Amino acid sequence: MGDDGGMESSCDLLTELLDQERRLVFDTFDDAVAWDVGVALREAGVAAGLPIAISVRRNGQRLFHAALPGASADNDAWLDRKCAVVDRYGHSSLYVGEQFRSRGGDFDTDARLDTSSFAAHGGAFPVVLRGTGCIGTVAVSGLPQREDHRLVVETLTAYLDATPASRSAPGSSPSSAS
């Protein structure tokens, strides 16, 4: 995401957010991958001294959760609300909020959803499984929404770049021993 102090056009931002979703696709996402992604986020948060809560879920089941010093129960509620947006719309919570704003709307009123259950604020990102679609979420809460989103995207990018077995060429499947 551009660092132009918020002057990035809505269309450019929406395009960039969709590009992130197209790029950050898993070929496999089991309990071990969820754990590794969660640990990577936790390590990044600890290294930077961030007051964040972290959630990694698959099909509604929380496979990883951590709260670092400075995070609170409010952050857990934010995680649930942001993840509910990803589950409903299949896009990052930041994308959904920006999409409403780009049309001159406000998610909290125009989505006609219970704001105690849904929050279209950055920080929850879809776990997309190649050939299947959105099967879960990776989320962070505790920072301003674009920083929450950026931390998730940077961590997923580093994880997927470092683990070629979880990300093969489009249309191919990871090799397996027989």
C-alpha neighbours within 13 Å on the C-beta side of residue 116: 0
Q: Is the pLDDT of residue 5 over 50?
A: no
Q: Is the pLDDT of residue 98 over 50?
A: yes
Q: Is the pLDDT of residue 173 over 60?
A: no
pTM score, two decimals? 0.87
Specify the 3-state DSSP secondary structure of 162: helix
- Cβ neighbours for 44, distance < 8 A, ≥ 6 positions apart: 50, 151, 154, 155
Q: What is the helix, strand, coil percentage profile of the chain, to 5?
A: 45, 15, 35
What b/e string do you get for 145-156 counting C-beta neighbours within 10 Å, with b at 16 or more?
bbbbbbbbbebb
Q: Is the pLDDT of residue 140 over 60?
A: yes
Q: What is the pLDDT of residues 55-86, one digit of tens each?
A: 999 999 999 999 999 999 999 999 999 999 99
C-alpha neighbours within 13 Å on the C-beta side of residue 77: 6
Q: What are the structure tokens assigned to 72, written together? A: 């609170």
Report domain 10-163's class: alpha beta
Q: What is the pLDDT of residues 109-126, one digit of tens each?
A: 999 999 999 999 999 999
Domain ranges of the chain: 10-163
